[in-house]
Amino acid sequence: MKQLENQIAVVTGAGRGIGRAIALKFASEGADVVCVSRTAENSEKVAGEVRALGRKAWALAVDVSDAAAVSAAAEKILGDCGKVDILINNAGVTRDGLLMRMSDADWDIVLNTNLKGAFLFTKSFTRTFVKQRSGRIINVASIIGLVGQAGQANYAASKAGLIGFTQSVAKELGSRNITVNALAPGFIETDMTAVLGADKKAEILKNIPLNSLGQPEDIANAALFLASPAARYVTGQVLTVDGGMVM
């Protein structure tokens, strides 16, 4: 039997990169997947890939920082799917820049997407998880939330906040058999890192003991563990997947 047989997983930021890899990994392990992305085009594309694996899929275009939009999406998801077993809060953006030059808008969009979005989706499904006395919540943070990074004060703050949010909600919901954990990816080959020049990548590799950038599938495999029965006694933890960069 597959590890996630007949479970319903909601994945935000599913349109590409890590979110897409998680959606497909979960589908390959028997889950039906709600693919949430900012654009209908991206969410529909990944939903089609999930269906090609023989699983059900739903596609939703949602601005995760919009409380009304998230509430409406959650209501539709529960109406269409009947339940939710796993929530992956993965949606994220960057707006890098030195603090002295960072605009209020660049601060707000990163905090609202990366942190508030996770809050809104988690809150929307908490009552459902509590009622069914089960649930897995996995928040995709970053090693930048653990160690910081020059030029990423907004991103670091959002990811550090996500880790604190993870630990607090884990304590709130643990008695209801709901686990809440975070993943802290290192430098993963996605659209976010594609903009890095060769010199910058070479500099980064010097600090990674495994001497390579990670792949989205590496994060998907870690997410699968946290969502699987094997992690039933794991909650409030931050699993770093970074090739040994932070230790």
Which residues are tagged catalytic? Answer: 155
Distance between alpha carbon 65 and the CA centroid of its chain, in Å? 14
The Cα 242–Cα 247 span in angstroms is 10
The Cα 216–Cα 194 span in angstroms is 13
